[in-house]
Structure 1
Amino acid sequence: MKAVIIDDELKSRKLIQVLIEENCSEIMEIFQASDLESGVAIIKEHQPDIVFLDIEMPKHSGLQILEFFNPNEVAFQIIFITAYNDYALQAFKLAAVDYLLKPIDKSEFIQAVQKAKTLLESEKVNQKLEDLKKAFQQLSLNKMALEIPKGIMFVSHDDILFFEADGMYTKVYLKGNESQLICKPLKHFADQLETKTIFYKPHRSYLINMKYLKELSKNDGVYLIMENNKSIPLAKEKREEFMKLIHEVF
């Protein structure tokens, strides 16, 4: 972990550094600044985890720190340290981890650092979960999760020939003459693939991947023949729509 101490008093900066070195072994790097502008420059360069910040300083108050950052740049925890308790409410409005009064109490200092560490770890976990969520969202652009009895299959849309309703279940036909019975109704998949125009619902019991459509047969009704030779009925109310699409595209 890294820390930055921003305080206009050299004696105060040295005291905080000693407290860190003697009680916070997880903080490996410590930087110092005597004014807010210099401290902000150090923060932007070194990306610390914790900022120990005095409030009463010449030119700029420590309470102005967030004015120097965009919201997405604030990845550090702030512990305000001051000789005046009048600033407590303002400090906490800035989402400070803690507010320590001078002279600094050692146990309160350690508790404040521990609180900051806990918050940092929580944020890192949340960020990892968010990154993982984004990765899964990217994966879902080309794949879907099929919950099978032994776990979950991640199947490419291109590997799905069609879906067939089976009561409250759905049978999924895949390339290579493989099929899986999934404990979800057909509507679940129809809703999930609604934006994937390659999938078409010719009948209330079927959802097909048009990529694997081989033939339209008018032998004893109208059927769509898939590449695995499975015949899928084309519902009467769908025939005009389907034929219009065929004539417009091909």
Structure 2
Amino acid sequence: MKAVIIDDEEKAKRLLRVLVEENCPQIKELKEASNLPEGVRLINEFQPQIVFLDIEMPGYSGIQLLDFFAPSQINFEIIFTTAYSEYAIKAFQLNAIDYLLKPLRDEQVAQAVEKACVHHGKSQVSERLEELRNTLKSSNIRKIGLPVADGVLFVKFDDIVLLKADRMYTEVHLKDKDPILVSKPMKFFEDMLMDAKEFYRPHRSFIINLRFIKQYVTQDGGYIVMDNDENVSISRDKKDEFFEVMQNT
């Protein structure tokens, strides 16, 4: 069998490749892609039977794979890799979608591949993916997985005070905890958080939780002070929008 890994994290890709090569003799050829469009091209060229797909990548959700293929073209099994919370995992289970929970383990990978081999060609993958997309849209997913040194830290949306861009990293400030530096760009969090009404992006370097705003200061061109005393820049063209958002919150 042939397989493709689609994941923006190089370390995650390397680990999954090692686990597949060591535990899944059914897979004879394995290729990798770092984003969804690249993965789509690879699927079309390589015609794999199994696709390992990160559920959330900068700019795209793994579910958007549906937007690139007609239902009849999805003739491969999909195994999602995710650091999502228990709510999303319930959505996977509800819709009979295989998933690997980060940090990955060898027996978990072996079992998922075994299942995919058994199901290949026998299941309506596109229908299950569409149902999953609908379930995720309607689910109240109120936690986010932050990759940390020893695993994944699941954090409630309500505990996030602000996020600050640091080049290709993001500094996550939490209520009653020290900030955490996460190896994900701000775009990753924007895609996940901006549908939640309490989050707002006043500046390209910041996403803030409106519930933790303490003060707006007019000096020095204007800036926001959060409950943890962090100062947050606000773009000149965002000021009117910011006050409108605050009035409607």
* Structure having the higher Rg: 1
TM-score, normalization by structure 1: 0.46
